[in-house]
Chain A
Amino acid sequence: MFQIDCKSIRTTLAEKHLKIAKAEVELIAKQARLNANKIMLEFDNKDLKIIAVPLNIEELSEIKTYMSQVPNEIEKLGMEIKKCTDIYDMLNEFQYAFPDEDDADKRWRMFGSP
Chain B
Amino acid sequence: MNREAYEQGKLKKFLTQTKFIMQDTLMDMTRGSVKRYVDSVLDFLPLTVAVKSTAEVTNMYYSQEEIKRMGADKVKFPLFRVDLELGDDNRPQYSSEASDVCSRILETFKKGLSSLSDITQLEQKLLPHLFKSSTKMFLKVPVKPEEMPEKPDPENKKLLPDENAWVYEEFMRLRSKIFESVDPLADYLKTYDQFQSDYNLDPDAEIAKMDDEENPPEPDALRRDVLMRRQRAQKL
User: Chain A: residues with CB nearer than 8 A to chain B?
Assistant: 1-10, 12-21, 23-25, 27-28, 31-32, 86-87, 90, 93-94
Contacts and interface: CB of A to CB of B under 8 A. Distances in A.
Contacts of A28: 219, 222-223, 226
A107 to B, nearest CB: 14
B170 to A, nearest CB: 18
A63 B210 CA distance: 43
Contacts of B226: 21, 24-25, 28, 94
Contact of A23 (B80, B198, B207): B207
Interface stretch (B12-20, B122-130, B228-236): B228-236
A31 B79 CA distance: 54
A5 B233 contact: no
Interface stretch (B24-32, B82-90, B109-117, B160-168): B82-90
Contact residues of A: prevailing secondary structure: helix
B222 A13 contact: no
A21 B217 contact: no
Contacts of A93: 223
Contacts of B185: 2, 4
A17 B78 contact: no
Given A12-B85, A21-B233, A24-B226, A6 B54 contact: yes
Interface in B156-191: 178, 181-182, 185, 188
A6 B189 CA distance: 11
A23 B210 contact: yes
B81 A14 contact: no
Given A1-B44, A27-B217, A10 B81 contact: no
A24 B210 contact: yes
Given A2-B82, A6-B54, A24 B225 contact: yes
B71 interface: no
Given A16-B201, A19-B203, A24-B225, A4 B233 contact: no
A40 to B, nearest CB: 18
6 contacts: A2-B101, A5-B82, A17-B201, A17-B232, A17-B233, A20-B201
Given A6-B54, A17-B201, A17-B232, A27 B84 contact: no
Nearest to A35: B219
